[in-house]
């Protein structure tokens, strides 16, 4: 049985708060929400389910988008047609990053922003994230390109930052010579 998540809109004040660290052990409610988030994100990227349940495609979700200001993120990354890697990071921190800056050529979207926002969002091409898995074990993830963008986007949510805050209002688009577009 699939039940859509209630994802908050950008106008909700939860999305502008800095989230507090999550503590262990995680509650059954949080573990259930994590599992529902993964299922929602996976279904949103499979055309059949996207249409069946009227989902907007999305790759990541942070707990503030569900009205819970704790530092928990989930990312579902399609690595091959119908093949997904799932990431759940509790209290994530970017511990290192590349000097190279990239941006998604088509721009970024967000499940909490129900409108088109034009502009490139500069992000690090590669990041290393440290945090904890659902059982409290320390984990380290190295991400590059699209996955690195997703991690930075979701971690921003934990700090009350929305992707369009990072678009340069005076120069919203970069040329290929200024930044690598992916």
What residues are annotated to the active site? 154
Length of the chain in residues, anyone? 182
The SS3 of residue 38 is helix
**CB within 8 Å of 178: residues ≥ 6 apart:** none
Q: How far apart are CA 129 and CA 145, in angstroms?
A: 14
Query: What is the residue whose two structure tokens read 């502008």?
Result: 16
Ramachandran area for residue 8 (φ above 0: left; ψ -120 to 50: alpha; else beta):
beta
Six-digit token pair at 40? 């929602």
Query: What is the residue whose two structure tokens read 């990354």?
Result: 77
Sheet holding 101-103, edge to edge: 123-124, 101-103, 180-181
* Contact of 64 with 18, CB cutoff 8 Å: no
Backbone φ, ψ for residue 157 (5° rounding): -55, -35
**Any bridge partners for residue 126, and if so which?**
144
């Amino acid at each position: 049985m699939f039940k859509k998540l209630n994802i908050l809109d950008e106008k909700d004040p939860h999305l502008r708060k800095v989230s507090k660290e999550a503590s262990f052990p995680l509650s059954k409610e949080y573990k259930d929400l994590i599992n529902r988030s993964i299922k929602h994100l996976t279904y949103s990227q499979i055309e059949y389910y996207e249409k069946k349940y009227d989902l907007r495609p999305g790759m990541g979700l942070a707990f503030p988008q569900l009205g819970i200001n704790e530092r928990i993120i989930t990312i579902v990354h399609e690595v091959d047609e119908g093949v997904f890697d799932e990431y759940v990071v509790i209290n994530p921190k970017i511990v290192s990053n590349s000097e190279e800056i990239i941006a998604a050529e088509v721009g970024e979207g967000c499940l909490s922003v129900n409108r088109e926002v034009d502009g490139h969002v500069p992000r690090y091409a590669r990041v290393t994230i440290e945090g904890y898995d659902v059982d409290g074990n320390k984990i380290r993830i190295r991400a590059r390109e699209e996955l690195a963008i997703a991690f930075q986007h979701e971690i921003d949510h934990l700090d009350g930052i929305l992707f369009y805050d990072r678009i340069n209002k005076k120069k919203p688009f970069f040329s290929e010579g200024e930044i690598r577009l992916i």
